[in-house]
Amino acid sequence: MVLRRCAKCLSPGMEEKETLRWDCLLRFYEKGETMGYLIGWTRQTAEVLKELETTGEYRVKEEYIRKKNGDIAGYYLELYRWYTEKSRAYLPAAVEGEFPIWFSLNSDYRLQKTEGTVIIRARIPGEMALVIDAGRWDSRGNHMYICKNAKDRADFEKLLNTYGIYDETILADRKGIFYPMLRKRMMESWERLFTMPPDRPENGYATTWVLKQEWIEEIIL
């Protein structure tokens, strides 16, 4: 049974506090153990909810991305396709579509409901989800270097200064061909998005390439 409730009826003290099982996640990265399942929240439109109820599952359609992002949809389509293609190396059996579905793993940091949307709380099988760090995802989306730690970041900035570069994002565009070594190092750093666990539990995002109706535990209207 799926619980439905109205977001307007919630008071701050009523909201359930759930976080990512941090110990399970670290064992997943360090030892390759299973994560069991994750509790995640995703904001979706009413038409997505209707599709779930009609077909039993939802996969992201390109038309939804274009409708949501308008003139900058091309940027997101390219970024999501890159992410999906890279994800196949880490979650080969589960990555079947082109575009990921995003889940917050902490109820305090989830997207808030807006007009025409619903919040879906889902119990996601661990083998179907890929967990990444929000800050590293922002770095990738902004064509920036993903560092291993503070020293690695400082060393990279020092190297950039040696070449007179004060905006690392140029390495990802046409100007980057003039700095092939730096460009290669930056692009290789993006792989850390998949190989390093989130810095803190609240920074965790999970992605799947399908949302199944049987995963849904609650819908906030």
CB atoms within 10 A of CB 102: 19
Query: Residue 32: enclosing H or E segment and its boundaries?
Result: none
Cα separation, 197 vs 132, whole angstroms: 6
In terms of Cα–Cα distance, which of 187, 172, 80 is closest to 132?
Answer: 80
Q: Tell me, what's the pLDDT at 80?
A: 96
Q: Tell me, what's the pLDDT at 115?
A: 87
Structure tokens at 74: 């091309």
**How buried is residue 210: exposed, middle or buried, by Cβ count under 10 Å (0-12/13-18/19+)?**
middle
> What is the 3-state secondary structure of 149-175?
CHHHHHHHHHHHHHCCCCCHHHHHCHH
Q: Tell me, what's the pLDDT at 37?
A: 84
Q: Tell me, what's the pLDDT at 185?
A: 96
Query: Please, where are the H alpha helices in the chain?
Result: 22-31, 46-55, 62-69, 73-87, 134-141, 150-162, 180-189, 192-195
Cα separation, 198 vs 207, whole angstroms: 13
In terms of Cα–Cα distance, which of 39, 179, 37, 173 is closest to 110?
Answer: 39
In terms of Cα–Cα distance, which of 188, 200, 194, 198 is closest to 152?
Answer: 188
0.75 surpassed by pTM: yes
Kindly give the confidence (pLDDT) of every residue in the chain, 221 residues in length, as a single tens digit, with 9 standing for 90 and above. 343 433 433 333 334 444 456 666 666 666 566 667 888 999 998 889 999 999 999 999 899 899 888 999 999 999 999 999 999 998 888 998 889 999 998 888 888 888 889 999 999 998 899 999 999 999 999 999 999 999 999 999 999 999 999 999 999 988 888 999 999 999 999 999 999 988 887 888 999 999 999 999 999 88
